[in-house]
Structure 1
Amino acid sequence: MKKIGITGQNGFVGSHLYNTLGLQPEEYERIDFKKEYFEQPNQLDEFVKKCDVIVHLAAMNRHPDPEVIYFQNIELVKQLVASLKRTGSKAHLLFSSSSQEERDNLYGKSKKEGRSLLADWAKENGGTFTGMVIPNVFGPFGKPNYNSFIATFCHQLTHGENPVVDVDGEVKLIYVGELVQEIINQIQTAENKEHYPVPFTISMKVSEVLAKLEHYKKLYFDHGEIPELVTNFDYQLFNTFRCYFDIASHYPVKFKQNIDARGAFVEVIRLGIGGQCSYSTTVPGITRGNHFHTRKIERFAVIKGKALIQLRKIDTDEVLDFYLDGDEPAYVDMPVWYTHNVKNIGDEELLTIFWINEPYNPEDADTYFENV
């Protein structure tokens, strides 16, 4: 079992890597890191001594003064190198540099020089170093106006703002889940690679990305319809977009009931893709679920009885409660990386319809059990 520590553990890429490693506890032990360790040499040394692998992701991306970015990022590298030397570490060190290395800006300069400093440490002290040069990363939970233009667009479209394309350039992109898998692959191979350009998975103009997101807003955010999703990038971008809703206020979404003398007709879901539709009956007091998905799109629709649907993002403590009643049929969609359940809180049998975008495959279930 490899003991892995991640500086920047709570950041965008760091949290995805930390959570993904947690899905394989038999292979990886996660050594927790706190940003305060950079100000506490003894704590930093204790952290370094515990690690077989250190993934250095901590960095500053945005600041009004570019020189602050430069000096901050170099200082973090120097502090890490000093701790590696003090402890005599032989750890495998992975560093996240950026494709901006070759651009004329201080952020790119800080990344290139930081990579060089860490490579020198590995050569001089018998460590293993992987210097990853990473393209533009996007995915769920990135900070708008900080991590990615995609995060900014998603936030704006779901919060009543109108995105504007300043420069419509061609952008090389990688989904955060793909990047995490690339990092894990490099951890497993453990080879010295001073300069390793991580391959991008798609190249697209900024305006083309925005057009897709605007389409998702019109169909899904405004009307609850699942759009046609053809490529892996479509699924990745759509799952990213879904994570920028104000979930607590958006759900539950009430269905339109078409009532006549025969009773009521309700359209549960309209979609441009296939999937699996099923239903469950649940006796009073029983809870179903308590699991999460990392890629699947799922809808719970209560059409009879009273239910409590709960969601919690797996690396947080906040639980979102949604009370649904079959007298006013409604649905809640499950964002990726949110563990969720449904409980019958009424006195009669609960009837719930479930739709998910891919049929259940026990060999690749993308279903991880964790109590809400």
Structure 2
Amino acid sequence: MDQMGQQIKVGITGQNGFMGSHVFNFLGTKTEEIERVDFKRNFFENISDLQRFVKSCDVIVHIAAMNRHENQQVIYDTNVELVQKLIQACKTERVTPKIIFSSSTQEERDNLYGKSKRDGRQLLEDWAIKEGGEVSSLLIPNVFGPFGKPFYNSFIATFCHQIIEGQEPTVINDSSVNLIYINQLSEVFYQEIIKKNTEKIKSYVVPHTSSYKVSEILTLLNGFKSQYVDNGQVPKVNLNSFELDLFNTFTSFIPKDYFPRKFTKHSDNRGAFVEVMRAETAGQSSYSTTVPGITRGNHYHTRKVERFAVISGKALIQLRKIDSDEVFEYILDGEEPAYVDMPIWYTHNIKNIGDTELITIFWINEPYNPEDADTYFVKV
């Protein structure tokens, strides 16, 4: 909230990109403090729309940029032009929203991408000095997280894609890489949005949260493939760990038709036995009974690993990424016990579509904590 107790109106250029979409969704969990102003990619081509956008915002997070192109000059020209258009729109409307600029630790490197970030930051700072605006520039290390674009956003996205596709990634330069997970970076943006700065112009390097050699990351990803994809076993991923963040990144690349996964059912004259869960990490197991026609859930998580295992009755499980309209549906029947794992940032539910009581076993990698539930209610 601002000093008047009103929501802060925040717009994000590049809202549909990897980083922008994550920051947008993260801010969607802070609705008491923040109202998100929608941004469309064509705003930079439609000046009146861009002007309307800047006038609507208390804070603009400028993330829109080109990362890769075969012609480095195109990267430079594009990124600088985006900053110039944003500044011009603010000048035309005579508004001075706080601008948070997504820059890069590559600013000091000898490449045109880094130079475009450095020069873009200088343009924004010059505008702020002249117009009385406020600019905070974040120099960001290598970012990774779910839903990244292979061969574009990060080598981790590329490796995940290749491993899932049955390819063998190649380590060209086995250097140590400084990394930050996208959820952690989103928190940095959020804190900067709500912060009351005394300085009108500032820039700082966002600290990396982990540092690994490329080969070490590849070894972990190959382990996830062997344990989780091939054998349905959740690997050792401790809470608030790099391994958990990497695992959630990896699983986002698994096609949705991978589920449901059938259990192995052992039957004899005594009855049947089914192993529901095997994991190298701690967690919480529970079960529910659901009467016919009733739906449970309609919520999403941002970090939790969760498994729904139907052992009796008939169920419809639905998933939808919170910024998408596409719904994935799975029908599970206790006659052939099976499970579906819930991806992060996908709202999900389970409905009893049978005529008998539905019995579902739930496993989640962390005990429920009402003070930090990581559970956000949105209908599928």
Q: What is the aligned-residue RMSD (CA, Å)?
A: 1.0
The equivalent residue for 2:3 is: none
The equivalent residue for 1:229 is: 237
**Structure 1: tracts of 5 or more residues without a match:** none
Deviation per residue, 1:72-118 (Å, 9 max, x gap): 11111111111111111121101111111111111111111111111
Amino acid at match of 1:257: K
Q: Determine if the alignment matches structure 1 residue 319 to structure 2 residue 336.
A: no
Amino acid at match of 1:250: Y
- Distance in structure 2 (CA, Å) of the matches to 1:187 and 1:302: 43
- Distance in structure 2 (CA, Å) of the matches to 1:188 and 1:23: 14
Alignment match of 1:202 (pick from 196, 210, 233): 210
The sequence identity of aligned pairs, in percent, is 60
User: 2:128–2:201: 8 Å Cα contact kept in structure 1?
Assistant: no
Alignment match of 1:166 (pick from 163, 172, 175): 172
Alignment match of 1:13 (pick from 9, 16, 19): 19
The equivalent residue for 2:248 is: 239
1:105-124 matches, cutoff 5 A = 105-124=111-130
The equivalent residue for 2:292 is: 284
The equivalent residue for 2:4 is: none
- Distance in structure 2 (CA, Å) of the matches to 1:314 and 1:195: 32
- Distance in structure 2 (CA, Å) of the matches to 1:370 and 1:194: 37
Alignment match of 2:276 (pick from 268, 273, 297): 268
The equivalent residue for 1:130 is: 136
The equivalent residue for 1:181 is: 187
- Distance in structure 1 (CA, Å) of the matches to 2:45 and 2:178: 35
The equivalent residue for 1:336 is: 344
The equivalent residue for 1:257 is: 265
The equivalent residue for 2:147 is: 141
- Distance in structure 2 (CA, Å) of the matches to 1:360 and 1:175: 23
- Kindly tell me the number of residue pairs found equivalent between the two proteins: 371
- Distance in structure 1 (CA, Å) of the matches to 2:33 and 2:245: 26
- Distance in structure 2 (CA, Å) of the matches to 1:233 and 1:193: 32
The equivalent residue for 1:26 is: 32
User: 1:128–1:190: 8 Å Cα contact kept in structure 2?
Assistant: no
Measure how far apart 1:194 and its partner are. 3.3
Measure how far apart 1:195 and its partner are. 2.4
- Distance in structure 2 (CA, Å) of the matches to 1:359 and 1:203: 28
- Distance in structure 2 (CA, Å) of the matches to 1:227 and 1:106: 40
- Distance in structure 1 (CA, Å) of the matches to 2:232 and 2:84: 50
Measure how far apart 1:193 and its partner are. 4.2
- Compare 226-235 and 268-277 and name the one that shifted more: 226-235
TM-score, structure 2 as length reference: 0.96
Deviation per residue, 1:137-166 (Å, 9 max, x gap): 001111111111111111111121111111
Deviation per residue, 1:240-299 (Å, 9 max, x gap): 11111001x100000011122211111101001111101111111111111110011100
Alignment match of 1:100 (pick from 106, 116, 127): 106
Q: Runs of 4+ in structure 1 displaced over 6 angstroms?
A: none
User: 1:60–1:69: 8 Å Cα contact kept in structure 2?
Assistant: yes
SS at 2:29 equivalent: coil
SS at 1:268 equivalent: coil
User: 2:309–2:360: 8 Å Cα contact kept in structure 1?
Assistant: yes
Amino acid at match of 2:352: N
- Distance in structure 1 (CA, Å) of the matches to 2:33 and 2:192: 15
Measure how far apart 1:190 and its partner are. 4.0
Deviation per residue, 1:195-225 (Å, 9 max, x gap): 2111111111111111111111110111110
- Distance in structure 1 (CA, Å) of the matches to 2:190 and 2:196: 10
SS at 1:317 equivalent: coil
TM-score, structure 1 as length reference: 0.98
- Distance in structure 2 (CA, Å) of the matches to 1:184 and 1:282: 39
**Structure 2: tracts of 5 or more residues without a match:** 1-6
The equivalent residue for 1:346 is: 354
SS at 2:370 equivalent: coil
